[in-house]
Chains A and B, each alone.
Chain A
Amino acid sequence: MIGRRHVVLWLWCALALGLFAANGRAQDYGAQADRPNIEPFLFRRRVVPSQKFSKAQLETWQSAASNHRPGEADESSREAASLSPEDLADVIAGFEWGTEALPGGRDKTDLTRRAVVLHTDIAVTAAAETAQPDQTTVSTSASLHFGAAMELVNFLKQRLPRGRDDPFILTWWQAVAAQLGRLHETVSSPHFMVRALSQFPRDTEILLMAGVQFEFLASPVAQDAQAGWEPAYERKAEELYREVLKKDPTVVEARIRLARVLGQLRRPEQAAAELDKALDDGAPRSLRFFKYLFLGESRTELNRFGPAREAYERALGLYPGAQSAHLGLSRLERRAGNRSGSAAAIERLIELPHDAQAREDPWSDYFTAGPAARAADMLESLRAPLRK
């Protein structure tokens, strides 16, 4: 251990000397064993610093972080977004390893927070600009800048007295988890969620979001990247939802999602039991809808056709044009041997007017409802203190 400390100390000294002597030219900060790097969300490759960086580039980046207006696509964010992955890795490495006083006597912790927000904003904007309806990965640019922000958050954590318990750190993990959920991201989100859970194993918000992500990964949308893993993801989601309910049994959303997952895992009896517990007339309309929709499903699986029909009718009472409930009803009738009833349910559905209001179906937002729907608010709570 002593040998390693010596090496690290030597590297710090070398870096400090390098920065001191650099004055705008390319610098070499040596071959540190623990040098920071950016691990983009897509995990296709690690962006390792080139071991050389330009002091001018570092200063430009610091200035961008300092001047960025949180939540806006401004000149500062465009400047930082124009850096190549290697240059970005270099300036962040240079920033983290640098010991020089910052321009204008800025506080490094404060500047790190601003840099986190800067790169998170770039990633969010890039993801929104490149989002396609069928897309299940964030763009390379979004991935790179989420990765840069994560690297800076980890660095920040070490500087803050409360470490990971600092509200900024927790909010960042929650906000990005919610954002990935909102984006229907499938490639990096499992890795991200595993990391988030390892850092915040008891946070009900993170647990719930991770559950939704794993549930989503088992859905048809996740496609080939996840083929064959559906039961494993569903079991993971079940575990996470149960954990939420253990910590707070009043989270109706967790219970309803747990019930759906149990249904997917072919345990309809358990699903129905959870849904019976989830009865709450004061709950939001969409949650009540899901309760009856999934009750209809689980009762159909149990061949309890009368009660299943009743559940679907209640769901349709809340959202008369909900395609999911009409399809469920049709499937029920078919399973009950009533083919004409099955066809009639489909006819009723497709003959409905197809304007958005008449066809409102909470199922469309099932995977983006809940915490993911609050992504914008969470990001805002990250940004707001930096505007002061």
Chain B
Amino acid sequence: MVLGLACLTVGAPARAQLPTFSSKVEVVRVDVLVTQSGRPILGLRSSDFELRDNGVRQEIEFAALEKLPLRLILALDSSDSVAGVRMMHLRAACEAVLDRLQKEDEAALITFNHTLVLGSPFTSDLGRVRTALRAVAPGGETALIDALYAGMVLGEAGSGRGLMVAFTDGADTSSFLRSQEVQDVAKSSDVVVYPVTSGRNGRRLTSFLRGIADQTGGRLFEVESTPDLQKAFVAILDEFRQRYVLAFRPQSVTKGGWHRLDVLVKGRPFDVRARAGYQGGQ
């Protein structure tokens, strides 16, 4: 049984020099950002990385930069507080990111107030996403926790690299799921989550979003006000493009349960940002 893992198989679409692995073999994929003083380090190879799964060193079969198509999920707060000029800034930020996507990339749009709405499913027809963006009409309350959950679950499907940019400008006021449940899902999600907030937010919200970002290997962006959103969204995409994708087949570790991951660059004091671990199959 293959569970909770990104499985790259022979049958996957052969776009953008997709690496292939034999069918029905678990392959764990890890998105890794390597920086020094905040600047990305490029040009690394598989042999430069050291990866441990529950403390057991693993053989990295694949390490590449920008080789896999991207599956971008825009999860946008469309509650009452985003109405007016904030929505305009948010649309502009999304447009800027869509403009920078490549031909093989796909994007999806989810909006959330107290209800989750699929603006556009994953598609490489970005015009469809843009049309959906223009149709967003803010109003209602905010179910942020539910939206992050839905975004992670949906983003896992497919073989590209899942990136979720989730924007909110305030408090969760109507989610059903508990924040802890969603943190647990983040631990086993293949989607890298970059939450973006604007304005002053409470400690609990910030801590929750930072937790989600840390678990998935993303980063929390806190902007002062919505005119800064465009810069933040573009920075996220740029940063994501400079991440490596490592892939390995777990060896000498028990299959199930929580697997802690430790990734470093051999012999170099670089900062390495990757998901905290993954949930193994049974």
Residues of A within 8 A of B (CB): 132-134, 136, 184, 220-221, 223-224, 227, 264, 323-324, 327-328, 330-331, 334, 337, 339-340, 342-343, 346-347, 349-351, 354, 359, 361, 363-364
Contact = CB atoms under 8 A, between A and B. Distances in A.
Contacts, number: 103
Contact of A221 (B4, B172, B177, B178): B172
10 contacts: A134-B173, A223-B202, A323-B114, A323-B143, A324-B176, A330-B149, A334-B153, A339-B3, A346-B153, A350-B110
Interface string B172-201: 111111110100010000000000000000
Contact of A327 (B146, B172, B179): B146
B156 A323 contact: no
Q: Which of A223, A264, A361 has the most CB of B within 10 A?
A: A223
Contact of A337 (B3, B81, B114, B146): B3
B41 interface: no
A132 B156 contact: no
Contacts of A342: 153
Q: Which of A220, A223, A331, A359 has the most CB of B within 10 A?
A: A220
A334 B185 contact: yes
Nearest to A263: B178
Given A331-B181, A364-B174, 17 more contacts: A132-B80, A133-B79, A133-B142, A134-B141, A134-B142, A220-B145, A221-B172, A221-B174, A223-B204, A224-B203, A323-B115, A327-B177, A330-B153, A331-B149, A350-B150, A359-B115, A361-B115
B118 interface: yes
A350 B117 contact: yes
A343 B155 CA distance: 9
A322 B126 CA distance: 30
Interface residues of B, number: 42
Contact of B118 (A324, A331, A350): A350
B241 to A, nearest CB: 26
A187 to B, nearest CB: 13
Contacts of B154: 343, 346-347, 350
B120 to A, nearest CB: 11
Q: Which of A134, A340, A342, A351 has the most CB of B within 10 A?
A: A134
Contacts of B204: 220, 223-224, 227
B19 interface: no
A323 B157 contact: no
Given A337-B282, A351-B118, A223 B205 contact: yes
Contacts of B181: 331
A11 B81 CA distance: 52
A115 to B, nearest CB: 35
B203 A227 contact: yes
Nearest to B170: A134
Contacts of B157: 340, 343
A133 to B, nearest CB: 5
Nearest to A221: B173
A133 B142 CA distance: 8
Contacts of B282: 337
A180 B40 CA distance: 51
A347 B179 CA distance: 21
Nearest to A228: B204
Nearest to A324: B176
B221 to A, nearest CB: 20
Interface in B266-282: 281-282
Nearest to B142: A134
A323 B140 CA distance: 15
Contacts of B115: 323, 354, 359, 361
A306 B185 CA distance: 21
Contacts of A347: 118, 154
Interface in B1-33: 1, 3-4
Contacts of A132: 80-81
Q: Which of A133, A223, A227 has the most CB of B within 10 A?
A: A133
A364 B140 CA distance: 11
B171 interface: yes
Contacts of A134: 79-81, 141-142, 170-171, 173
A150 B159 CA distance: 62
Contacts of B90: none
Given A133-B79, A363-B176, A343 B203 contact: no
B173 A328 contact: no
Contacts of A323: 114-116, 143, 146, 176
Nearest to A328: B176
Nearest to B185: A334
B203 A133 contact: no
A343 B81 contact: no
Nearest to A293: B176
Interface string B104-117: 00000010001111
Contacts of A264: 178
B203 A220 contact: no
